[in-house]
Structure formats: structure tokens, C-alpha cells
Amino acid sequence: MAETKENIEVTSAEETKVEKNDTNEVDVAAKLAELTAQNQALMTEVAKLKKASDKNASEAADYKKKYRETLSAQEQASIDKAEKEAERDEKYNQLLRENQINKYVRQYMKQGYSEELATKAAEAMYDGDTDALFNVQTEATTAIIKKKESEWLKSRPDVNAGTGTQGVTKEQFETMNMMQRSELRKKSPEVYERLVGRA
């Protein structure tokens, strides 16, 4: 049985698709194998660097210990004193920072900042980070405005829409007595004229 030209073209197209899919799968598999090998090489390098770092730290500690052994008691005492002073200075500076930040926080909270935003602003101000400070100030200003708007909406009196004479219909007008019609004529002459048919 001879295959028609159409069948041969369809079969050829299907074989081409299968070959392309096989090629794509091979490319993906090759890339994955390559990335896995690179990852393994990086992990090995990291392990080597960590081992070298640990070795260096250990050697530094040994040298420091040997150096201290060569010092006289007075020199060792002097080094210990300097280390304690450096530690004390660091704690003192940390306390100064916290104290100043707390002062700034109180000032920002007086201006209406939330505690969280006041803390962020105070830290940014102390650290001299003006970009962060401006961002916090923008956020705080927006929050303060929303809070004030909400308070104003809650405290404002009910809106009085007026007498409502603009919406009087012809049927309502016809049911009004003379006193009501006279009142409508005084309050809203245009509406009255329209309802009586003069406008």
C-alpha cells in the first residue's frame, strides 16, 4: 500500500516535533548536569575557605596566647586593662545611643507619631540616615492626616441637606394645603412656579 504525499508530510512533521522535543530535553538535561557540577565545585570551594578561615582563627589565637606568655605581668595587666576599657567604652556608647534615641522617640510621639514610626525616625536621626528619616516622616504624616480626618468625620455634626423643596413632585404639591403651599412659595419660588405651571 503506497503512502500518500499528505500522510508522508504529516509523519515527517510529527517526527520533526519529536526530534525538537528530544533536543530540548537533552539541552535541559545537559544544562542541569552542568549547573549541578558548578554547584558542587562551589560547595567544595566554600568548605575549603571555611577550613582555611578556621585554621587562621586558631593560629591567631595561638599567636596571641604565645605573645601574652612572653609579656611581663605588668604588660599583661596593661593589655587586660585596655581591653576592659574598650569594652566599657562600647557599652557606654551603646547606652548613650539608647538614651538619645529614647529622647527623640518621646519628641516624635508628641508630634503624633506612632511608637513604631517614632522609633524608626529616632534611629534614623541618630544614625544620620536622612533618606530613611524622610521616608518615615512621609509615612507618619500620612498616618497623622488619616487619623485627623477620621476624628473630624466622627466629631462633625450631621449634614443638613436643607428643606428638600427641590424634590417636591406634582402629586405632593397637589396634596399640600394652602399654608404648606405658601411656605413653599416663600422658601423656593422657582419650584413653586414650576409646580403651578407658570415656569
Give me 194's grid cell: 414650576
* DSSP per position, 22-59: HHHHHHHHHHHHHHHHHHHHHHHHHHHHHHHHHHHHHH
73-110 helix and 115-127 helix, angle to the nearest 10 degrees:
130
pLDDT in tens, 170-188: 888 888 898 888 888 898 8
Q: Are 97 and 122 contacting, i.e. CB atoms less than 8 angstroms apart? A: no
Residue 6 or residue 122, greater confidence: 122
Write b or e for each residue in 67-80: b if 16 or more Cβ atoms lie within 10 A of its Cβ, otherwise e: eeeeeeeeeeeeee
- Say whether pLDDT at 162 is over 50: no
Domain boundaries, the chain: 73-154, 168-196
Q: What are phi and psi of 169, to 5 degrees?
A: -90, 170
One-letter amino acid identity for 28?
V
Q: Is the entire prediction scored with pTM above 0.85?
A: no
Cβ-based burial of 53 (10 A; exposed 0-12, middle 13-18, buried ≥19): exposed
Q: Are 126 and 148 contacting, i.e. CB atoms less than 8 angstroms apart? A: no
One-letter amino acid identity for 140?
A
Give the pLDDT of residue 193: 86
pLDDT in tens, 4-32: 555 555 555 555 555 555 667 778 888 88
pLDDT in tens, 47-86: 999 999 999 988 888 887 787 777 778 887 888 888 999 9
44 pLDDT band (50/70/90 cuts)? very high
Q: What are phi and psi of 72, to 5 degrees?
A: -75, 170
- Interatomic CA distance for residues 146 and 128, integer angstroms: 28
- Interatomic CA distance for residues 182 and 3, integer angstroms: 101
Whose CA is closest to 140, among 181, 172, 111? Answer: 111
